[in-house]
Amino acid sequence: MFKEVNSNPDFPKLENNLLEKWDKNNTVKEYRDKNIDSGKTFSFIDGPITANNPMGVHHAWGRTYKDLFQRFYTMLGHEQRYQNGFDCQGLWVEVEVEKALGFKSKKDIQDFGVEKFVNLCKERVNKYSAVQRDQSIRLGYWMDWEDSYFTMSDENNYSIWGFLKQMNESGKIYKGTDVVPWSGRSGTSYSQMEIIEGRKLVAHKSVFIKFKLKNKNNEYALVWTTTPWTLTSNVSLLVNKNLNYAKCKLKNDEIYYVAEKNIKYQRLEKEFKEKREWVEGVPKLKTIAQLFNERGGYTVEKIIKGSDMIGWEYEGPYDEFKATKIDGGFPFTNEKLKDEKINAIKCHKIYDGGKDQEGNDVVTSGEGTGIVHTAPGCGDIDYKIGQKNNLVALAPLDEEANFIENFDWLKGKNATDSKTIELILEDLKNKDLLFYTELYPHIYPHCWRSGDELVFRLVDEWYINMDWRNDIKKSVDEINWVPAWGKQREHEWLNNMGDWMISKKRFWGLALPIWQFEDDSFYVIGSKEELKKLAVEGWKEFEGNTPHRPWIDKIKIKHPKTGLIGTRVLDVGNPWLDAGIVGFSTLQYRTNKEYWNKWFPADLISESFPGQFRNWFYSYLTMGTAISKKTPTKNIFSYALVRDESGAEMHKSQGNAIWFDDAAEEIGVDVIRWLYTRQNPEINLRFGPSIANEIRRQVIIPIWNIYSFFTNYAILDKFTPPQNLKSPNPTNLMDKWILVEMKETSEMVKEYLKLYQPDKAALSVENFINLLSNWYIRRNRRRFWKSGKFENNTKIDLDKYSAYETLYFVLITLSKIMSPIIPFITDEIYCNLTNEANWKKNSVHLEDFPAFNKKNKDDEQLQIATRAAMRISSLGRSARSKSQIKVRQPINNLLFKSKQQIDPKYLEMIKEQVKDEVNVKNVNIVNENYKLSETNITLNKSVLGPKLGNKMGDLIKELNNLDNDLLIKNLREKDYVNINNIELSIEDFNIEHYNLENTEFIEDNNYEVSIETKLNPSLIDEGSSRELIHNIQNLRKDSGFNISDKIIMTYSSDEYLKNIINKFESHISQEILATNIIFEKSETGDNAFQINNSNIFISLKISN
């Protein structure tokens, strides 16, 4: 016997009960073992989730997909690994630990002790990986939670060592000196990948500075910069040799050189006007001409070419600093220039900016002055130009972005501190070099963790030379990307990216296995074994620890060739190395090649696309291609971002972030999973309670209602599951039809999921649920209500049984095909409905995905006929509402035409259905020539007038002689007619329909429908009786009676209604559950109604 179904359940509670049940029955294990020897595999390789905080609802989106696809392939019989991954190493973990400890800088960590700090990082990861595991379980994510991989594992780290050694053996690892974005707070450089995360619109104090030209009297190059602190390290100036420069003389006789076009150029005009990329409160920028005019006006004395200025010497703004006088630059020394006794001051000349890598001019007109200050130690382009022009570099900042020695009074001051900027400006003003300061809005890189501005520092970092990127691009081409444009996006990144910076001057992460020697050589270790072999010091302290700082730092090795003793570089690795290696580290690549071959390449990897093209997809593809020489995955499925209900980004600080735990318990995870699955993955998803409520009402509750309807009646009627679960073969056409629809839906879901289009799969299920609920169930309710139980096989009502059998099979099938999406209620439904079946599995999740034959022609005809019945009913109701005849009022006739051929064998079914739906006595199809409406055709003069001009008159005359009906027929058949040698199409006419007498006509693309609006007395009487029943039912409800309460009705009325009641007494009694209807003459009563101009007073009481 089925368990009775609560028609209004608490879904989150139901989900939690199921979690307990699954746990108790070990269902997940049984699920994982389902296909263990099936011979077919599906390899999903998980992109690790950062185990640093509890999950947000956005994580649940991706995990819903991951679970969905794995469940689907489980149902298709594929063996899988079900391995989840946690991302453990990297700055983001350090940041949280620092926060917890109240640390402000990198130095605090060193003072605290690296070992203690690293251990806290590990603890944090262990803590939150467990939290995320539990949350994932709550989501219904069925993984092998005992077997999750952790990127901090020895295996993962040593696997990366192997990769780096391989890279080094092909000469791809190098130490580069470069100017890189740097966070003073974090004390580390930022990779190309990370810097993109932290771009922010800010208003900086930008300055116009006078650079005094040597050997000229009172002449200056005017220079503009947004980073005044870099002026301390100025080395050269750049112009564009092809631009025109104006020699401007001011009122005070000072002469300024600026690019001619720039003088009147309105900087950031568009941004200011549209207030896009503009910072509130920043005033409009002035033109250079305005600045000159404010100083009393200017005259342009001469126009010269940029090329004429090349070679001019100038005095730098900070030539008094010791650093500028150090030969070879400071603190990095260019030995060649040192030997030539070249210092910064000697470099102070104007150079040509030339072109960048893309072939664009480095110096352009527009913003600024057309003369650019360069500080090769403070900017990446500056550095490249410095190298090209053989210039020294001054790199003024230390790890914390403070000025270093030889920068005189600035020593120890922080470059991003606004006070420092003020001091510099003050100093420039005192030197009379400051021409103008302003606030300038622009997008500038910031530290993604602290929000602090980044600076650019000249430092040593380690890189992988990516000149072999074409190998990766080949892999990219061979992958099926969903969405398809992902391929192009990945190519774009691969084309534009620089070499991969893999080092980070931090503590918690992959220990780069690079040891350096006094002769400036380095050696890359590829495994723990190799390390042990080459170690000459520190092995004892290291042994037993993970390959992390600080333990690993203790080891010194002897170079196998030179015999020199080296120490490890203190850097840790880029965290995307950790995630990129998992195609090997998690698949026993180093120990069991057979296993690895079984599971590599992946069938599927999946992550959210913003970011991943340059992060995980990139590192996975790079490492996968390099090591395996294969394309490392067959499919990449990616999706957009979760936003709040109004489309805004969710932020903790803005209070619109939703926590997963709250969402799960308040909304329920089936609702969440359906919401996620039905979303077009390319589009940002809006998430919130009202959207979730809509999904619950639209999808989850209808399913539940169908299920509870079926089950509760099945209990009453003692319906039991069939001996074998196979598709029924009913004779009832509606049963037949819903099975056709269901099978089609099932096959569509399968196809869509194979194509990685889960949204389409979900939407096709929604469509089916709508048909099932709003047509099949609604139209068939009475078959379930008929009396007669099934318990003792005698006198079974076969039609009633067919309805049960059909709906049962539909529900079981539906629970299967929806189970990958909403694993909770589907299992609830399945388990309850199968609890006595001898063929049952312990869970719907142990079932296979249904397989059905394609629908045949007959099925299709049945589908067409049923759709026709629905549509004609709808048009019939529409006609009723146009002629203001309520559905309660029966009408005599409905006639329809169909453009689509309807199989005659289904005609009777259509008639029956329409009769019932529209409350009409007779329904008939009529042929093409039968007139359902009066039509009037006129010329559309507003269209034809301009086309025909004076021919119109004749045409109008001609038309009057033609048979309207014939004309319309011709137009419909051929789309055009020829009158007076003029070709006219249907658009050239206005066709109006008029109702024939006593009818209401309506049409759509496929059908014409006409209802008879004339009512005879017998119809009116029947209408009155139904009106009466309706009023009494409302009264019952208002009186608070139970649905099953029997009543006694007493009434007083006019003759008319009295007669109606007498005429329809048995029907009325049955409908309102009256045991007795008593007429009692009186002039007043509690409840008065007027029906058809006749009055009635009614009182009801419960009969005992």
Backbone angles phi, psi at 1065, to 5 degrees: -55, -45
384-392, 466-474, 858-866, 875-883 -> range binding RNA (CB under 7 A): 875-883
Q: Which is nearer to RNA, 10 or 320 (CB)?
A: 10
Length of the chain, in residues: 1104
Contact present, 899 and 1004 (Cβ < 8 Å): no
The answer to whether residue 196 forms part of the interface with RNA (CB under 7 A) is: yes
Q: Which two tokens stand for residue 83?
A: 């391995």
Enter the tokens of residue 452: 């602090």
Q: Is 986 in the site for RNA (CB under 7 A)?
A: yes
Distance in Å, CB of 397 to RNA, minimum: 23
* Structure token pair of residue 768: 């089916």
CB of 760 to RNA, least distance (A): 7
Binding residue (CB under 7 A) for RNA from 222, 577, 1026, 1057: 1026
Please say whether the beta carbons of 60 and 671 come within 8 A: no
Candidates 686, 969, 1058, 1063; binder of RNA (CB under 7 A) is 686
Stretch near RNA under the rule CB under 7 A, chosen from 247-255, 458-466, 561-569, 885-893: 885-893
Q: State the DSSP H helix or E strand holding residue 715, giving kind and residue range, or none if neither.
A: helix 701-717
Q: Which C-beta is closer to RNA: that of 323 or that of 1096? A: 1096
Span from 206-214, 302-310, 489-497, 962-970 in contact with RNA (CB under 7 A): 489-497
**CB of 62: closest distance to RNA in angstroms?**
17
SS3 758: helix
Q: Is 684 in the site for RNA (CB under 7 A)?
A: yes
CB of 895 to RNA, least distance (A): 17
Closest to RNA by CB, 570 or 864 = 864
Shortest Cβ distance from residue 8 to RNA (Å)?
6
Pick 172 or 783: Cβ nearer RNA: 783
Q: Are 975 and 967 in contact (CB under 8 A)?
A: no
**β strands within 354-454, DSSP E:** 372-374, 434-445
- State which of residues 556, 877, 1046, 1063 lies at the interface with RNA (CB under 7 A): 877
Helices (H), 886-940: 907-918
Binding residue for RNA, selected from 153, 1006, 1094, 1095, defined by CB under 7 A: 1006
Question: Could you say whether residue 492 binds RNA (CB under 7 A)?
Answer: yes
Query: Any idea what the Cα angle at residue 1056 is, between residues 1051 and 1057, rounded to 5°?
Result: 35
**What span, in angstroms and rounded, lies between the C-alpha atoms of 1012 and 849?**
50
Under rule CB under 7 A, which residues in 612-641 are in contact with RNA? Answer: 613-614
When the beta carbons of 531 and 1009 are compared against RNA, the nearer one is 1009
Q: Prior bond to 331 cis, omega within 30?
A: yes
> Cβ distance 740 to 714 under 8 Å?
no
Look up residue 14 and give its amino acid: L
Residue 1030 binds RNA (CB under 7 A): yes
Nearest CB to RNA, comparing residues 144 and 645:
645
Q: Which of 150, 133, 147 is nearest to 32 (CA)?
A: 147
- Pairing mode, strands 933-939 and 989-995: antiparallel
> Could you say whether residue 916 binds RNA (CB under 7 A)?
no
With CB under 7 A as the contact rule, which of the stretches 452-460, 523-531, 610-618, 742-750 interacts with RNA?
Answer: 610-618
Q: Which of residues 699-758 bind RNA (CB under 7 A)?
A: 701-702, 705-706, 708-709
Q: How many binding residues for RNA (CB under 7 A)? A: 65
Q: Tell me the closest approach of the beta carbon of residue 985 to RNA, in angstroms.
A: 8
Does 680 bind RNA (CB under 7 A)? Our answer is: yes
What is residue 211's three-state secondary structure? strand
In terms of phi and psi (left: phi > 0; alpha: psi -120 to 50; beta: otherwise), the region of 10 is beta
Using CB under 7 A, which of 881, 936, 1018, 1075 touches RNA?
881
Nearer to RNA by C-beta: 347 or 918? 918
User: Which of residues 244 and 935 has its CB atom nearest to RNA in the complex?
Assistant: 935
CA distances from 148 to 57, 119, 133, 621, 969 (A): 21, 20, 9, 21, 71
Measured CA to CA, the distance from residue 995 to residue 1012 in angstroms comes to 10
843 dihedral zone (left: phi>0; alpha: psi -120 to 50; beta): beta
Hunting for tokens 């980004």 — which residue is that?
Answer: 649
Q: Among residues 478 and 492, whose Cβ is nearest to RNA?
A: 492
* Contact status: 790 vs RNA (CB under 7 A): no
- The smaller minimum CB distance to RNA, of residues 632 and 702, is found at 702
Q: Where are the beta strands (DSSP E) in 779-859?
A: none
The CA distances from residue 889 to 893, 1058, 1070, in Å, are 12, 19, 19
Asked if residue 966 binds RNA (CB under 7 A), the reply is: no
Interface positions, 747-786, toward RNA (CB under 7 A): 763, 773-774, 777-778, 781, 785
Residues in contact with RNA, shown as a per-residue x/- string from 119 to 158 under the rule CB under 7 A: ----------------------------------------
Task: Give me Rg for the CA atoms of the chain.
Answer: 41
Q: Which two tokens stand for residue 1092?
A: 């058809």
Show the site string, 895-914: x = touches RNA by CB under 7 A, - = not. ----x---------------
Min CB(283)–RNA separation in Å: 22
Q: How far is the CB of 761 from RNA (least distance, A)?
A: 12
Which CB atom, from 99 or from 778, has the smaller least distance to RNA? Answer: 778
Nearer to RNA, 8 or 950 (CB): 8
- Quote the CA–CA distance of 484 and 491 in Å, as a whole number: 12
Query: Using the rule CB under 7 A, is 358 a contact of RNA?
Result: yes
Backbone φ, ψ for residue 648 (5° rounding): -85, 155
Task: Tell which one of 698, 832, 863, 1094 touches RNA (CB under 7 A).
Answer: 698
Nearer to RNA, 473 or 888 (CB): 888
We find the least distance from the C-beta atom of residue 68 to RNA, in angstroms, to be: 18
Nearer to RNA, 216 or 786 (CB): 786
Choose between 295 and 888: whose C-beta lies nearer to RNA: 888
Binding flag, residue 683, RNA (CB under 7 A): yes
- CB contact at 8 A, 819 and 845: yes
Q: Which of 771-804 are b and which e, b meaning 16 or more Cβ less than 10 Å from the residue's Cβ?
A: bbbebbbebbeebbeeeeebeeeeeebeebbbbb
Indicate whether 1075 belongs to the interface with RNA (CB under 7 A): no
Q: List the alpha helices (DSSP H) in 170-305.
A: 192-195, 269-274, 288-294
Choosing from 887, 925, 926, 982, the residue that interacts with RNA (CB under 7 A) is 887
How many of the other CB atoms lie within 10 Å of CB of 863? 17
Which three-class secondary structure state does DSSP give residue 93? helix
Q: Quick one: which of 284, 265, 437, 230 has its CA closest to 367?
A: 265
Q: Which residues contact 1040 (CB under 8 A, 6 or more apart)?
A: none
Chosen residue from 888, 915, 941, 1046 binding RNA by CB under 7 A: 888
Q: In what order do the strands lie in the sheet with 565-568?
A: 522-524, 514-516, 565-568, 556-558, 535-537
* Of the residues 40, 251, 1037, 1101, which one makes contact with RNA according to CB under 7 A: 1037
CB of 768 to RNA, least distance (A): 13
Q: Is 874 in the site for RNA (CB under 7 A)?
A: yes
End-to-end CA distance of the chain: 32
The residues binding RNA (CB under 7 A) are: 7-8, 192, 196, 274, 276, 356, 358, 360, 443, 485, 488-489, 492-493, 496-497, 610-611, 613-614, 647, 680, 682-684, 686, 694, 697-698, 701-702, 705-706, 708-709, 763, 773-774, 777-778, 781, 785, 874, 877-878, 881, 886-888, 899, 986, 1003-1006, 1026, 1029-1030, 1033-1034, 1037, 1043, 1071, 1073
